[in-house]
Structure 1
Amino acid sequence: MALPLYLVGLSHKTAPLEVRERAALDPVVALPAALMALGKGVVLSTCNRTELYGVGSPEKARAFLLERGVAPRHLYVKEGVEALRHLYRVAAGLDSLVVGEAQILGQVREALFLARRQGATESLLEKAFQTAIALGKRARSETGIGAGAVSVAYAALDLALAVYGDLSGLSVAVLGAGEMAELFLTHLKAHGVGRVLVVNRTEERARALAERFGGEAFGLSGLPQVLRQADLVVASAAAPHYLVGPEDLPKRAKPLFLIDIALPRNIHPRVGSLPHAYLYNLDDLERVVEKNRRAREGEVPKVEALIEKALADYLEWYAGHRVREAIRALRERLFQEVAQELPGADFPTWHKEVGRRAHPLILALKAQARP
């Protein structure tokens, strides 16, 4: 019997940014709705992919993404071992925009936690994601696939360095106060930026992040002031609509450099057409990280070898799992038969007779499961 796992998804490799925006699932409303639609499943939704993993038929998952306005040509469907291999590649960072990035492993772990919270996992999915997380850790500790800083935030930093050359003394603003904003600020401080401005819907969170980096905090009402003062803006806020439009940018004596790494996007695409603004988004980063990707090509075969070993281990576990499930079902059936045939017997007698009848059948099941 084939492994009954499936995957339906889209990523930066199959869909442009505006399509990925439609498929992005927020953890409060859309993601639980997706899990309800799947019945049993795990949803991995990041800035560069939305993937639905489950057991059985992939049709419900496919229909769910099509209903969100995703065209069939943007989707990939994988089943059985190929679905598991894809999950392992994702966790190891081989399928990321920035090959070997560390953030995806935490996102895979979070996807499993959210599914557990919704009661949406079962044994095959649990084992698949647990082994994917373990593999991702091994890939980064036993190979050079994760060497150096390879996050999307670092790619954004590379882009800023390509434009400015030297970041010291610049005024830098971040929109959002989440993990990506914190990671970007960590990189920036290492390059000696001058003034740090943090803008967030919740000013208290902005203040907490700003204090860590010696910066200034603003609520969304302070965004116009920030846009007048900043040299570089990096947007990574969780917002359902644009926070910056063409009408929001003041006329400036010097250009403003903006990097939008949020999904959905925080900055309206038309901002990039203004004469004093230079706007880059997630798709633009692919060109920035091409050099990084080439440098890690030598490590990919090592990671792929780890993946194939993990696949073999999972399939060995699955064979044993199938036998255990079959034995449990066999014992239940035999117990019902014995109880009907020997209604006057006591419980120990029933169990003894079930054991006698089950023994040769269990041996046969185990023999069938051997490779």
Structure 2
Amino acid sequence: MENDFKCLSYTFREGPVQDIPSVGREIKKFIDRKNIESHVFIQTCNRAEAYFFSNSLENSIPDKAILREGKEALNHLLEVTAGVDSLIVGETEILSQVREAFKNSVRKNQIGPKLKGVFDWALEFGKKVRRETEISTGKVSVASIGLDHAQDILKEFTGKKAIIIGAGKIGTTAARFLKDAGIGSIFVANRTYERAVELSKEVGGESYRLSRFPELLPEVEIIICATSAPHYILTEDKIPELSEKKVLLDLSVPTNV
């Protein structure tokens, strides 16, 4: 692999995940400033990365970002698509997230043939690793592992109630897990009420507007915060006096509690 293949990256390994959105914005600004038309930009809960070809970047890369070049950049991309570089090794979402970022570049005509060839190969490699190994068996998401711990604390989910604040991908994963685990009731609160209705119908729960979640907290044993808001959602002033302990999982990025 030529040394002009580059990866600008900031992940959970480099620092707090709360910094990913801001570092991601700086990486995108850098790409625009350098007029790098052919690139793939990936941003998830645990990483912000740009892949591209360039002869020289001088010494102007964004603060906190890591620059990888040549074989190191390629190996990193392969580790990402294989799920090896994930917070939960073997997690399956990253492959679809990389694929969607790649397709987004194709749709915008922001990818040249050389970079397209690299990503075609890397995506196929990620599929092959999952097909021929057991890397993606067992619990392979932060939500499922967190809820396993919640079940250990509560002993069982039968008859218990849970509220999920946020109906995006992570909130949906949590809701489906709770339904399969036999939870008694699921309340879904979301900024876009229609999405709360959709998810609650899927899992047999109840839907609420986001503003109503504080009044539901005394009724539940499990509180799951899973939004992508850039500010705190669950603050001390929004938590009423509780008569019993609750299990609280903050699955948001950045932190919302």
Post-superposition offset of 1:232 = 1.1
Post-superposition offset of 1:46 = 0.9
**Aligned match of 1:56:** 54
Query: Mapping of 1:172-183 within 5 angstroms?
Result: 172-183=162-173
Post-superposition offset of 1:238 = 2.4
Post-superposition offset of 1:260 = 1.4
Unaligned runs of 5+ in 1: 268-371
Write out per-residue CA displacement over residues 178-212 of structure 1, whole angstroms, 9 at most, x where no aligned residue. Answer: 22211111211121111101111110110000001
Query: Mapping of 1:61-210 within 5 angstroms?
Result: 63=61, 65-66=62-63, 71=64, 75-210=65-200
Distance 1:244 1:209 in 2: 21
In the superposition, the TM-score normalised over structure 1's length comes to 0.64
Name which of 32, 39, 50 aligns with 1:36.
32
Distance 2:30 2:181 in 1: 41
Asked whether the 8 Å contact 1:35–1:118 carries over to 2, the reply is no
Flag the structure with higher strand content: 2
Q: Relative to 1, partners in 2 of residues 1:58 and 1:232: Cα closer, same or farther, differing over 3 Å?
A: farther
Unaligned runs of 5+ in 2: none
**Aligned match of 1:254:** 244
**Aligned match of 2:44:** 46
Secondary structure at the residue paired with 2:162? strand
Instruction: State the structure with more CA Rg.
Output: 1
Amino acid at match of 1:51: E
Asked whether the 8 Å contact 1:41–1:120 carries over to 2, the reply is yes
Amino acid at match of 2:115: L
Query: Mapping of 1:207-218 within 5 angstroms?
Result: 207-218=197-208
Percent of counterpart pairs with the same letter?
32
Post-superposition offset of 1:125 = 1.8
**Aligned match of 1:288:** none
Q: Relative to 1, partners in 2 of residues 1:253 and 1:61: Cα closer, same or farther, differing over 3 Å?
A: farther
In the superposition, the TM-score normalised over structure 2's length comes to 0.90
Distance 2:129 2:50 in 1: 23
Write out per-residue CA displacement over residues 70-99 of structure 1, whole angstroms, 9 at most, x where no aligned residue. Answer: x3xxx3221112111110110000011100
Find runs of 4+ consecutive structure 1 residues off by over 6 angstroms: none
Write out per-residue CA displacement over residues 110-154 of structure 1, whole angstroms, 9 at most, x where no aligned residue. Answer: 111222233221122211222111111111111111112311221
Asked whether the 8 Å contact 2:189–2:210 carries over to 1, the reply is yes
Distance 2:59 2:213 in 1: 39
Secondary structure at the residue paired with 1:223? helix
Over aligned residues, Cα RMSD in angstroms? Answer: 2.2
Amino acid at match of 1:96: S
After superposing the two structures, state which structure 1 stretch, 173-182 or 136-145, moved more.
Answer: 173-182
Asked whether the 8 Å contact 1:198–1:206 carries over to 2, the reply is yes
Distance 2:29 2:108 in 1: 10
Write out per-residue CA displacement over residues 211-259 of structure 1, whole angstroms, 9 at most, x where no aligned residue. Answer: 0101011111212122232221222212222111111111111112221
Q: Relative to 1, partners in 2 of residues 1:149 and 1:6: Cα closer, same or farther, differing over 3 Å?
A: same
